């Protein structure tokens, strides 16, 4: 079937198998490889992207379900060569180690801060429950989220 | 001013944060154009004879290039005959002979997830479809799902061996007189459960065989060791190039490579097609090596005033279906058995048994967390029995600062330590006395939510193989930039930032002109890689020494260019320029000095070895709240003083501590790999395996402590595993402490609500009798 998405502001159209997952469309058709696959069961959040501005786990969304809609991935987050405040905060606070969960984490936090621009630490910890990181113990990810919230004020 | 010890944010990050890393599945190398996808057909049963494999239907599927089984592997040379000089079963090598593990199952499968066949297809989806259609006929055998079943030796997994016990070792534990004269003796069994390593990127490999050369990109902690392992498919090392691209976590499970990766490399060579394999999480939870899986029988004795006199640890290691590491893991558990305590009599032994579980190998700590968990639980048992505070009992038994270097009764040569200081720091920072007061208040009022304080004072062994060393090469080029080649291998630790800091410290070349390269055997043929918290102390020391060698070479070159004596030449590290005494107008840049060298490059290549391992240490305190009605445990605070010597970069060391604590707490609180009685895994997706999340953890409170070692020029020890080693028993001890007044003496890990609730109710029933 033909699927047409706007990915990071660009039109991407392709004929794909009906069962094509959004994450595979992004990685294999749009050739945007920042979005990683971590579990295939909507558990780990490594594949989190924004669909019409809201975070979704792209390993359990069909590309067809995203037809005609806008997707933002990590690659599309910065503007004018500048990192997004959440990306900057991850760098400043050492919010990443191996980097594998990072694209999904960053997108999840962008979405979380949109819904709640002034979260408490508990809000951030609850809000990120669906994103697993195995390296950082979440400590600096939580710090980065809080500091990005502060910086965005 | 020295850059060492200062907060330097990572050079690795901008790329990872804006474009994402380049993991195996992201590689777009021209050599991999048209690569076929590999999908494994894996055993669906725990133990069976294979009576037939039918590829017919699969081969007719669209996009199928080949279906390969062990029968196709006739081009692999037989393994060399047993080497009489081979390392003992204690070494970290697979057991051969009757215990050996094939690349693909030959006639028997021994765990669910064992690779049986490889399907090569044009696309991933085609591979999943076709793999379903490979029919494997199994003649089911009884399963050995646990240590208890293995020990019965009723069903033997390797009939030629005649037993499920693969290795035994350690000392004699038969002399019970070591407990004579003890006022208090406590004894019991403790389970150190099987857990998943769970790097966020699972295993992944791409391979190309072209022009007689095999190139393998693989998610590994050790490119160079992987190259040696790959010679098993019948190629000499110099016909193999292994590249570690970005690696999405390892935690021990990516030391070297697994049979699955060797089989993929063989498939590329066998078919002549580039092959790529990226495992699913389900495959990862079935077939990536897992960790811990020990059963302990512990006995501790001492005097009523809190002095420990004797300790015994019997370890039974479940090694899973194949012994990937011989007796290595429990050997380390035995070695580290007495922990931080000066105990006059210590006995430890081990037994390794095979079961129908996923093979067990290194997981963050690899044998040492188990030792710490055992002794720290035992010390709390002893303290409870003596009616003494657990902090006080630890203090009374610590090896004292002036006793270092100290060789334990199990033969561990501890280099340096200040155990009591670490404990004091934690007690003070946590407000221990107030916490105990709060605990008493809640106990007296019968609060539903009880408070528990858990201590763990630990020592661990890092760079356990110091003689293997690590390589480091520093080149300074005529453009004034430096390039560092390290045999160590980063997968999140921040090697690139840390090693560049070491070079800028010695050479004054700015960080942004220093490139660090790792994980490519064509560029770095010699190296060991990353495990056992060895990177900074061995790899970092190699880079440090290489930088100094380059500086010495440069001093000679500069002297010659200045036409001056070498003694009159100085390096201004602030500006990265060379000067001559008495003539401030004359200076040379690094580029000018390098241009005068042979090949216009100054270079030094160092293999740094140390005489002995190092022994970092610390104390961790966990504060938990336990809901006595539901059994739910909430980790409220976790305070640690972890001492791994001088700090090179505080954000990197603290990052290692954070991650380690989370993984340690995860074992104590929620994570466990489970099998049913038939050996079927019950935790083979992340919907079932309870990986710890941000919602179950607090922010951690870290206290700095720096006791140098004299075993390397940086004075550093390893920090990668310390967090995990301390956190597991600290959290577990806290849970038990919360319930101690109810009569609970022990709760096995993970301390799930069900287990805690059951322990409370059993204790209540017992006290009502």
Residue range B668-698, pLDDT digits in tens: 999 999 999 999 999 999 999 999 999 999 9
Q: How many helices (H) and strands (E) does chain A have?
A: 5, 5
Amino acid B84: pLDDT = 73
What confidence category does residue B257 fall into, taking pLDDT thresholds of 50, 70 and 90? very high
For chain A, give every domain's residue range. 2-76, 85-151
What confidence category does residue A36 fall into, taking pLDDT thresholds of 50, 70 and 90? very high
B200:A40 CB<8 A: no
Judged against a pLDDT cut of 90, whether residue B80 lies above it is answered with: no
Asked if B489 is an interface residue toward chain A (Cβ–Cβ < 8 A), one would say: no
Classify residue B449 by burial, with Cβ atoms within 10 Å: 0-12, 13-18, 19+. middle
* Residue pLDDT, tens place only, B720-767: 999 999 999 999 999 999 999 999 999 999 999 999 999 999 999 998
d(CA B219, CA B346): 40
Asked if B691 is an interface residue toward chain A (Cβ–Cβ < 8 A), one would say: yes
Amino acid B94: pLDDT = 85
d(CA A105, CA A111): 10
Judged against a pLDDT cut of 80, whether residue B85 lies above it is answered with: no
d(CA A67, CA B605): 55
A91:B13 CB<8 A: yes
Classify residue B172 by burial, with Cβ atoms within 10 Å: 0-12, 13-18, 19+. exposed
3-state secondary structure of A53: coil
Query: The whole model's pTM is what?
Result: 0.97
Mean pLDDT of B93-108: 91
Cβ proximity of B386 and B304 under 8 Å: yes
Mean pLDDT of B463-471: 96
Let me know if the fold of B378-462+615-768 is the same as that of B466-608. yes
Amino acid B96: pLDDT = 83
d(CA B688, CA B690): 6
For chain B, give every domain's residue range. 378-462+615-768, 466-608
How close is the nearest chain B Cα to the Cα of A106, in Å? Answer: 8
A91:B201 CB<8 A: no
Cβ proximity of B330 and B317 under 8 Å: yes
Cβ proximity of A152 and A116 under 8 Å: no
Asked if B652 is an interface residue toward chain A (Cβ–Cβ < 8 A), one would say: yes
The neighbour count for residue B698, using CB atoms within 10 Å, is: 21
Of the ranges B91-95, B307-311, B730-734, which one carries the lowest mean pLDDT score?
A: B91-95
In this complex, the residue of A17, A44, A129 whose CB is nearest that of residue B695 is A129
Task: Give the residue from A134, A140, A147 with the most B CB atoms within 10 Å of its CB, the best one to mutate.
Answer: A134
What confidence category does residue A80 fall into, taking pLDDT thresholds of 50, 70 and 90? confident
What confidence category does residue B78 fall into, taking pLDDT thresholds of 50, 70 and 90? confident
How close is the nearest chain A Cα to the Cα of B37, in Å? Answer: 13
Nearest to B192 by CA among B91, B347, B297: B297
What confidence category does residue B86 fall into, taking pLDDT thresholds of 50, 70 and 90? confident
Cβ proximity of B547 and B509 under 8 Å: no
Q: How many CB pairs under 8 A join A and B?
A: 179
What ipTM did this prediction achieve? 0.98
B686:A39 CB<8 A: yes
Judged against a pLDDT cut of 90, whether residue B505 lies above it is answered with: yes
Which CATH architecture best describes the domain A85-151? Answer: Orthogonal Bundle (1.10)
How close is the nearest chain B Cα to the Cα of A152, in Å? Answer: 18
What confidence category does residue B584 fall into, taking pLDDT thresholds of 50, 70 and 90? confident
Judged against a pLDDT cut of 80, whether residue B82 lies above it is answered with: no
* Residue pLDDT, tens place only, B320-364: 999 999 999 999 999 999 999 999 999 999 999 999 999 999 999
- Topology of domain B466-608 in CATH is Aldehyde Oxidoreductase; domain 4 (3.30.365)
Asked if B244 is an interface residue toward chain A (Cβ–Cβ < 8 A), one would say: no
B651:A94 CB<8 A: yes
**Nearest-by-CA chain A residue for B684:** A39
Mean pLDDT of B7-12: 98
Bridge pairing between strands A2-7 and A70-72: parallel
Which CATH architecture best describes the domain A2-76? Answer: Roll (3.10)
Mean pLDDT of B215-228: 97
Asked if B659 is an interface residue toward chain A (Cβ–Cβ < 8 A), one would say: yes
**For chain B, what percent of residues have pLDDT higher than 90?**
96
CATH 3.30.365.10, domain B378-462+615-768, yes or no? yes
Query: What are the two backbone dihedrals, phi and then psi, of residue B205, each rounded to the nearest 5 degrees?
Result: -150, 140
Amino acid B372: pLDDT = 98
Judged against a pLDDT cut of 90, whether residue B93 lies above it is answered with: no
What confidence category does residue B583 fall into, taking pLDDT thresholds of 50, 70 and 90? confident
Mean of the per-residue pLDDT values of chain B = 97
Asked if B129 is an interface residue toward chain A (Cβ–Cβ < 8 A), one would say: no
* Residue pLDDT, tens place only, B745-758: 999 999 999 999 99
Give the helix/strand (H/E) hosting B347: strand B345-353
Amino acid B767: pLDDT = 86
């Amino acid at each position: 079937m033909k699927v047409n998405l706007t990915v990071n502001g660009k039109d991407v159209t392709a004929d794909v198998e009906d069962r094509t997952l959004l994450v595979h469309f992004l990685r294999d058709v749009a050739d945007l490889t920042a979005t990683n696959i971590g579990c295939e069961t909507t558990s780990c959040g490594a594949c989190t992207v924004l669909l019409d501005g809201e975070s979704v786990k792209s390993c359990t969304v069909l590309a067809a379900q995203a037809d005609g809609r806008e997707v933002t991935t990590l690659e599309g987050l910065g503007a004018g060569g500048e990192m997004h405040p959440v990306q900057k905060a991850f760098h400043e606070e050492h919010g990443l180690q191996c980097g594998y969960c990072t694209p999904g984490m960053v997108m999840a936090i962008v979405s979380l801060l949109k819904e709640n621009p002034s979260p408490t630490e508990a809000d951030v910890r609850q809000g990120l429950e669906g994103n697993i990181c195995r390296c950082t113990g979440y400590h600096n990810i939580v710090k980065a989220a809080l500091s990005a919230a502060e910086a965005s004020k | 001013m020295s850059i060492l010890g200062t907060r330097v944010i990572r050079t690795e990050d901008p790329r990872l944060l804006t474009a994402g890393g380049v993991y195996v599945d992201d590689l777009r190398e021209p050599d991999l154009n048209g690569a076929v996808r590999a999908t494994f057909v894996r055993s669906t049963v725990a133990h069976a004879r294979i009576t037939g494999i039918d590829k017919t239907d699969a081969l007719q599927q669209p996009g199928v290039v080949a279906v390969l089984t062990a029968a196709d592997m006739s081009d692999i040379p037989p393994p060399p005959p047993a080497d009489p000089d081979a390392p003992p079963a204690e070494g970290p090598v697979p057991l051969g002979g009757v215990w050996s593990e094939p690349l693909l199952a030959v006639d028997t499968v021994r765990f669910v997830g064992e690779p049986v066949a490889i399907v090569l297809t044009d696309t991933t989806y085609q591979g999943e479809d076709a793999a379903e259609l490979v029919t494997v006929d199994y003649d089911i055998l009884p399963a050995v799902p646990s240590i208890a079943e293995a020990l019965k030796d009723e069903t033997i997994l390797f009939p030629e061996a005649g037993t499920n016990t693969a290795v035994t070792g350690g000392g004699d534990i038969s002399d019970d007189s070591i407990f004579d004269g003890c006022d208090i003796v406590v004894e019991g069994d403790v389970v150190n459960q099987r857990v998943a390593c769970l790097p966020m990127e699972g295993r992944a490999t791409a391979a190309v065989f072209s022009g007689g050369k095999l190139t393998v990109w693989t998610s590994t902690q050790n490119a160079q060791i992987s190259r040696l392992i790959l010679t098993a498919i019948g190629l000499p090392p110099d016909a193999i190039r292994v590249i570690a691209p970005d690696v999405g976590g390892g935690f021990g499970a990516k030391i070297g490579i697994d049979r699955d990766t060797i089989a993929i490399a063989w498939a590329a060579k066998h078919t002549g097609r580039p092959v790529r394999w990226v495992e699913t999480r389900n495959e990862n939870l079935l077939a990536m090596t897992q960790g811990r899986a020990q059963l302990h029988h512990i006995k501790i004795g001492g005097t009523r005033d809190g002095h420990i006199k004797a300790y015994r640890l019997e370890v039974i290691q479940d090694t899973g279906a194949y012994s990937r590491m011989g007796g290595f893991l429990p050997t380390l558990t035995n070695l580290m058995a007495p922990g931080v305590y000066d105990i006059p009599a210590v006995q430890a032994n081990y037994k390794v048994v095979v079961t129908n579980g996923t093979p067990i190998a290194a997981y963050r700590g690899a044998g040492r967390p188990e030792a710490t968990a055992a002794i720290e639980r035992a010390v709390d048992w002893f303290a409870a029995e003596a009616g003494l505070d657990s902090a006080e009992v630890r203090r009374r038994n610590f090896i004292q600062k002036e006793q270092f270097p100290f060789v334990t009764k199990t033969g561990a040569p501890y280099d340096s330590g200040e155990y009591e200081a670490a404990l004091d720091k934690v007690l003070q920072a946590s407000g221990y006395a107030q916490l105990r007061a709060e605990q008493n208040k809640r106990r007296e009022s019968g609060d539903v939510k009880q408070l528990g304080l858990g201590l763990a004072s630990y020592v661990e062994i890092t760079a356990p193989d110091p003689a293997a060393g690590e390589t480091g090469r520093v080149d300074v080029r005529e453009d004034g930039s430096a390039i560092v080649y390290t045999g160590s291998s980063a997968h999140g630790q921040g090697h690139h930032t840390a090693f560049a800091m070491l070079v800028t410290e010695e050479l004054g070349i700015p960080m942004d002109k220093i490139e660090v390269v790792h994980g490519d055997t064509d560029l770095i043929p010699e190296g060991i890689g990353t495990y056992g918290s060895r990177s900074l102390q061995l790899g970092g020391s190699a880079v440090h020494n290489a930088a100094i060698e380059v500086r010495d070479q440069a001093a000679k070159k500069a002297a010659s260019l200045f036409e001056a004596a070498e003694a009159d030449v100085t390096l201004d590290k602030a500006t990265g320029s060379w000067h001559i005494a008495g003539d401030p107008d004359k200076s040379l840049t690094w580029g000018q000095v390098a241009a005068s060298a042979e090949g216009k490059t100054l270079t030094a290549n160092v293999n740094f070895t140390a005489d002995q391992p190092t022994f970092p240490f610390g104390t961790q305190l966990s504060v938990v709240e336990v809901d006595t009605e539901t059994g739910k445990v909430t980790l409220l605070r976790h305070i640690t003083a972890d001492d791994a010597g001088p700090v090179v970069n505080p954000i990197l060391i603290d990052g290692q501590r954070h991650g380690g604590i989370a993984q340690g707490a995860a074992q104590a609180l929620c994570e466990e790999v489970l099998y049913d009685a038939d050996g079927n895994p019950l935790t083979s997706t992340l919907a079932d395996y309870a990986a710890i999340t941000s919602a179950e953890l607090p922010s951690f409170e870290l206290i700095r402590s720096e006791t140098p070692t004299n075993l390397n020029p940086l004075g550093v020890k390893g920090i990668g595993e310390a967090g995990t080693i301390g956190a597991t028993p600290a959290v577990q001890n806290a849970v038990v402490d919360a319930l101690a007044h109810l009569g609970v003496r022990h709760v096995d890990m993970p301390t799930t609500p069900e287990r805690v609730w059951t322990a409370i109710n059993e204790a209540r029933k017992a006290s009502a009798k």
